[in-house]
């Protein structure tokens, strides 16, 4: 099997501040993040010849190039499906580098998701799209499934029914994330850990999801520089190897509302991503020193533990009940930046940068001896993932 393993490396990462009101345009946030990532790598805009982002990003590649005076682009690409695109932007960049299409590619995502269009609210524009996505959404919106929390609640309730997982098990994800965010000065919830009692007392958003089961709405931007391993080793930072990169869409796939499958309480597309990652890298879930698991809603973290092979089907509840299992020093530290629940919701891109920091030894919640880790992208949608190493 031909793979991308060790054909490209992450050489730089950058981000803006994370807030609820950035006071800047989304284009400025994108430009700031890209410039910060290039500075981190010891490169300049003149070195860049490729840009990758999300279809949902309002900042088209040529606008970012103009803002930063990037002279020429040999490669530009966009990935669909919201947060499911996060790791795939790095995959696309790695493919361009590995095939010689481009030399230095920057993946970016920037938005004013709190002060601008709030993704957590009802968005009728999704139904009004004159395309197949609009048709898909039109099946569910008339029944009140108009918010991400509402769509996930259906999956979460079925998962609880089939596995015996409880709301407190979901809460353990939030508690672990917020414990890590409390140590991260860049996190919105820096210095603000929570208890399981806090989680249970938070208001209900869409039964069984409490407020503290739901990720933030954030303003901010993140960027990642990808180049060849040969060039990366001569740059400013310790290179992070891309050991595997994959995308996945499963049978009867919808965007957030895959309710027509035989098995409702699972994420088969993430299982598909995992299978590819393990095959490409020659590793397994048990070889990971930690994981950054996409946590826009806590129930999906439990499902990922199962679909990626960290534990058997139905046993994630037991996995997370082990005291401290998900925190630094535990069985599988997750989301050591605080995740999207604790640091910021930037469609998973900040999870990739945390993976890079861990492998450089620069995390605020450093996992001792971290040498290889998993990063996943959005759940409930066609998705993607990475295995990174040193």
CB 89 within 8 A of CB 242: no
- d(C-alpha 179, C-alpha 327), whole Å: 8
Structure letter (DSSP) for residue 245: E
Structural element, H or E, at residue 107: strand 105-112
pLDDT of 1 reads 55
- d(C-alpha 285, C-alpha 345), whole Å: 25
Provide the sign of the torsion angle of the four alpha carbons 169, 173, 174, 179, taken in this order: positive
pLDDT of 57 reads 97
Q: Give the residue among 123, 122, 149 at the shortest CA–CA distance from 210.
A: 149
Q: Are strands 50-54 and 383-389 parallel, antiparallel or unpaired?
A: unpaired
Residue with tokens 């249970």: 200
- 364 is a catalytic site residue: no
pTM score, two decimals? Answer: 0.96
pLDDT of 2 reads 61
Q: Which of 108, 137, 254, 294 is catalytic?
A: 294
- Burial of 71-106, coded b for 16+ CB within 10 Å and e otherwise, reads eebebbbbbebbbbbbbbbbbbbbbbbbeeebbbbb
Average pLDDT along the chain, 390 residues, taken 10 residues at a time: 87 98 98 98 98 97 98 97 97 98 98 86 76 81 83 95 98 98 98 98 97 97 98 97 98 89 92 98 98 98 98 97 96 98 98 98 98 97 98
Is the N-terminal amide bond of 208 cis, ω within 30° of 0?
A: yes
Beta-carbon contacts of 39 under 8 Å, excluding residues fewer than 6 positions away, are 12, 14
- Burial of 246-267, coded b for 16+ CB within 10 Å and e otherwise, reads bbbebeebbbbbbeeeeeebbb
- 81 is a catalytic site residue: no
């Amino acid at each position: 099997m031909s793979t991308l393993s060790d054909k490209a490396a992450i050489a730089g990462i950058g981000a803006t501040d994370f807030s609820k009101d950035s006071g800047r345009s989304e284009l400025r946030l994108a430009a700031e993040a890209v410039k910060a990532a290039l500075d981190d790598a010891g490169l300049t805009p003149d070195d860049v010849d490729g840009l990758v982002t999300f279809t949902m990003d309002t900042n088209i590649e040529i606008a970012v190039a103009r803002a930063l005076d990037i002279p020429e682009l040999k490669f530009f690409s966009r990935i669909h499906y919201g947060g499911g695109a996060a790791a795939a932007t790095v995959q696309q960049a790695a493919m361009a580098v590995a095939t010689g299409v481009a030399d230095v590619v920057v993946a970016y995502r920037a938005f004013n998701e709190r002060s601008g269009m709030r993704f957590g609210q009802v968005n009728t524009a999704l139904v009004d799209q004159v395309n197949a996505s609009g048709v898909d959404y039109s099946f569910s919106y008339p029944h009140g499934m108009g918010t991400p929390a509402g769509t996930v609640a259906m999956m979460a309730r079925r998962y609880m029914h089939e596995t015996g997982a409880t709301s407190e098990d979901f809460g353990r994800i939030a508690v672990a994330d917020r414990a890590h965010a409390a140590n991260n000065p860049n996190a919105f919830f820096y210095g603000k850990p929570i208890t399981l009692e806090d989680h249970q007392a938070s208001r209900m958003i869409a039964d069984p999801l409490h407020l503290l089961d739901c990720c933030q709405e954030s303003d901010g931007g993140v960027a990642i520089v990808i180049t060849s391993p040969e060039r990366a080793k001569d740059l400013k930072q310790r290179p992070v190897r891309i050991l595997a990169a994959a995308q996945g869409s499963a049978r009867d796939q919808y965007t957030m509302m895959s309710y027509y499958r035989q098995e409702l309480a699972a994420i088969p597309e993430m299982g598909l991503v995992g299978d590819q990652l393990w095959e490409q890298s020659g590793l397994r879930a048990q070889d990971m020193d930690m994981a950054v698991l996409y946590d826009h809603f806590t129930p999906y973290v439990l499902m990922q533990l199962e679909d990626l092979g960290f534990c058997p089907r139905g046993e994630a509840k037991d996995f997370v009940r082990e005291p401290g299992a998900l925190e630094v020093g535990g069985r599988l530290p997750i989301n050591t930046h605080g995740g999207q629940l604790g640091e910021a919701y930037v469609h998973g891109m900040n999870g990739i940068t945390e993976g890079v920091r861990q492998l450089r030894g620069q995390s605020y919640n450093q996992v001792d001896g971290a040498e290889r880790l998993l990063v996943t992208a959005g759940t409930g949608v066609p998705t993607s993932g990475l295995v990174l190493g040193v």
